């Protein structure tokens, strides 16, 4: 079995497979043949025993083929120009761009442009593909759409039939395996830099101590060809991904410094992004509580004067609240592993920049809980954030 498939084996239990099969039996309708193939794959994953270390919150770092091919195709869309006005592209991007440029008219590239050019949609789809080519959906397509992409306005059957096939053929026609082979040392180096970055700031240990054991396999995927500093957190039922673009290196940085700044492990930023992006998956265990808290505090949300790209990126109060919680979590991690001062600076800067005024109070309550030596966990985060919002609201009334 190829390496990627063996890794993918980790952690599936017979119960998961039976649950998937149940869903498939109800919903497979038109996709019986493809469904059978996928289900036999699920059985294969289930054969791998769940050992105790699988349940620990370790983070695997790897270049994931489904995301790497997606990123290469995104280089043929306007997405490739994001965040490059003031930042340099990663040195690995040039070779990828050269390889894919002649395939601008490939139907996969056309499809990407047709569906909108931003990365998150395509990485979400990629998370539901098999890890190795030829790509197929991990679950019957109806299950995938039910869970993740129903909101996307794409023709269901068009997407079902064309997407994995087109991505697979794009990979072959653009000869991406040859590119990966010729740049293998660079890919390995980038993964190694990420591992160093995670280890240096104890991300695995810290996340377990803050959230408790992770419910899914955590995989960090560096995507050096992406726009600088971009991060995404797609997941499927068994895996949570943190996809990270290259570090943001200013165009003004002198050449000799730039090479050093492109090192994913040289600053706390990789670790910080991992804490944030995995946080999206980890807080999901309290998704209902978060929805309830957002509903109860909607008036507070309406009073905030949000600024910069924050309200555009997070258009509803629930996602704004979730972002504040995760930014507070990120700064708790920063205070405990980097420095208290730098955490306070980030809290201050983000509050000012985005107008997210309850952030310092949420952060403060999280810090107090941690100083009492506690694992906060998903429900704990929502409860404390709820309490912070009540305090914030009282402060505002007193000021009025
Ligand atoms: Zn976020």
Q: What is the mean pLDDT of the chain?
A: 84
- For residues 398 and 294, membership in a common domain is answered with yes
Helix-, strand-, coil-residue percentages of the chain, each rounded to 5: 65, 5, 30
Q: Which of 175, 196, 217 is the last residue of a domain?
A: 196
CA 93 remoteness from chain centre = 20
Residue 163 resides in a domain? yes
Task: Judge whether residue 224 has pLDDT over 90.
Answer: yes
Band the pLDDT of 183: cuts 50, 70, 90: very high
From ligand 1's centre to the CA of 313, what distance in Å?
Answer: 9
Query: Cα of 266 to ligand 1 centre, how many Å?
Result: 22
Q: Is residue 299 part of a domain?
A: yes
Boundary (domain end) residue, out of 139, 165, 196? 196
What does the pLDDT read at residue 30?
Answer: 31
**Residue 188 and residue 64 share a domain:** yes
Whole-Å CA distances, 301 to 54, 138, 321: 40, 38, 8
Q: Is 334 exposed, middle or buried (0-12, 13-18, 19+ CB in 10 A)?
A: buried
pLDDT of residue 37: 40
| 57 confidence band (pLDDT: 50, 70, 90) | low
- What's the pLDDT score for residue 282? 93
The predicted structure's pLDDT at residue 152:
54
Measure Cα distances from 340 to 267, 333, 335, 361, 364 in Å.
16, 10, 4, 16, 12
On whether both 188 and 64 belong to a single domain, the answer is yes
- Reported as a pLDDT band with limits 50, 70 and 90, residue 8 is very low
Q: What's the structural domain count of the chain?
A: 2
Let me know whether 83 and 188 are in one domain: yes
pLDDT band of residue 116 (cuts 50, 70, 90) is confident
pLDDT category of residue 52 using cuts at 50, 70 and 90:
very low
First-to-last alpha carbon distance for the chain, in angstroms, is 66
End residue of a domain, out of 196, 223, 256: 196
Indicate if 192 and 64 belong to the same structural domain: yes
CA of 229 to the centre of ligand 1 (A): 13
Q: Clarify whether residues 178 and 62 are in a common domain.
A: yes
Give the confidence band of 160 by pLDDT, cuts at 50, 70, 90: confident
Reported as a single tens digit per residue, the pLDDT across 350-364 is 999 999 999 999 999
* pLDDT on residue 177: 97
Ligand 1 center–CA 278 separation, angstroms: 9
pLDDT surpasses 60 at 385: yes
31-35, 94-98, 301-305: range with lowest mean pLDDT: 31-35
Q: pLDDT at position 256, please?
A: 85
Question: Residues 180, 300: one domain?
Answer: no
Of the candidates 145, 5, 125, the residue with the CA atom closest to the CA atom of residue 67: 125
Q: What percent of the chain has pLDDT over 90?
A: 65
Rounded to the nearest whole angstrom, what is the distance from the C-alpha of residue 314 to the centroid of ligand 1?
A: 9
Structural domain span for residue 287:
283-400
301 in the same domain as 181: no
Residue 24 predicted with pLDDT over 50: no
**pLDDT: which is higher, 54 or 271:** 271
Is residue 3 assigned to a domain?
A: no
The band of 114, judged by pLDDT with boundaries at 50, 70 and 90, is: confident
- 312 alpha carbon to ligand 1 midpoint, in Å? 13
> What is the rounded average pLDDT of the residues 311-327?
95
Residue at 149 is within a domain: yes
Q: At what angle do helices 287-296 and 377-399 cross, to 10 degrees?
A: 10
Higher per-residue pLDDT: 14 or 92: 92
pLDDT confidence of residue 36: 38
pLDDT band of 267, cuts 50, 70, 90: confident
367 inside domain: yes
Q: Please, which residues have CB within 8 angstroms of residue 4's CB and are 6 or more apart in sequence?
A: 62, 64, 65, 131, 132
- Is 162 inside any structural domain? yes
Cα 329 to ligand 1 centre (Å) = 11
What distance in angstroms lies between residue 225's CA and the mean position of ligand 1's atoms?
21
DSSP classification of residue 80: G
Tell me, in angstroms, the distance from the centre of ligand 1 to residue 120's CA.
12
Determine the pLDDT at residue 54.
46
Ligand 1 centre and the CA of 285: distance in Å? 16
Q: Is residue 388 part of a domain?
A: yes
**Residue 25 C-alpha to ligand 1 middle, in angstroms?**
35
CA of 144 to the centre of ligand 1 (A): 22
pLDDT at residue 21, rounded to an integer: 33
Are the C-beta atoms of 99 and 71 separated by less than 8 Å? no
- Say if 166 falls within a structural domain: yes
Place of tokens 């390496």: 3
Omega of the bond prior to 90 within 30 degrees of 0, cis?
Answer: no
């Amino acid at each position: 079995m190829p390496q990627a498939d063996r890794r993918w084996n980790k952690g599936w239990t017979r119960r998961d497979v039976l649950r998937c099969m149940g869903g498939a039996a109800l919903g497979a309708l038109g996709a019986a043949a493809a469904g059978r193939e996928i289900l036999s794959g699920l059985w294969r994953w289930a054969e791998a025993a769940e050992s105790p270390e699988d349940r620990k919150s370790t983070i695997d770092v790897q270049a994931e083929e489904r995301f790497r091919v997606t990123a290469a195709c995104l280089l043929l869309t306007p997405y490739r120009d994001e965040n490059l006005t003031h930042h340099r592209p990663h040195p690995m991007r040039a070779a990828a761009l050269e390889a894919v440029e002649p395939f601008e008219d490939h139907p996969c590239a056309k499809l990407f442009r047709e569906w909108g050019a931003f990365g998150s949609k395509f990485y979400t789809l990629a998370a539901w593909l098999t890890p190795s080519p030829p790509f197929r959906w991990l679950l019957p397509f109806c299950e995938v759409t039910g869970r993740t992409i129903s909101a996307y306005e794409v023709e269901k059957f068009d997407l079902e039939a064309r997407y994995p096939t087109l991505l697979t053929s794009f990979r072959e026609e653009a000869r991406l395996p040859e590119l990966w082979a010729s740049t293998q040392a660079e890919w390995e180096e980038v993964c190694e830099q990420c591992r160093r970055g995670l280890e240096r700031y104890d991300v695995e240990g810290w996340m377990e101590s803050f959230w408790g054991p992770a419910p899914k396999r955590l995989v960090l995927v560096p995507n050096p060809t992406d726009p600088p500093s971009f991060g995404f957190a797609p997941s499927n039922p068994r895996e949570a991904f943190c996809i990270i673009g290259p570090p943001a290196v200013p165009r003004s940085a002198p050449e000799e410094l730039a090479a050093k700044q492109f090192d994913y492990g040289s600053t706390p930023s990789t670790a910080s992004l991992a804490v944030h992006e995995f946080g999206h998956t980890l807080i999901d265990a309290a998704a209902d509580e978060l929805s309830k808290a957002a509903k109860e505090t909607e008036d507070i949300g309406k009073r905030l004067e949000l600024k910069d790209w924050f309200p555009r990126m997070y258009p509803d109060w629930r996602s704004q609240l979730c972002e504040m919680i995760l930014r507070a979590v990120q700064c708790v991690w920063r205070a405990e592993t980097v420095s208290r001062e730098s955490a306070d600076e980030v809290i201050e800067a983000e509050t000012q920049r985005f107008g997210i005024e309850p952030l310092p109070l949420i952060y403060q309550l999280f810090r107090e809980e941690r100083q009492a030596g506690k694992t906060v966990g998903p429900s704990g985060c929502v409860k404390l954030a709820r309490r912070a919002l009540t305090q914030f609201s009282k402060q505002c009334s007193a000021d009025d």
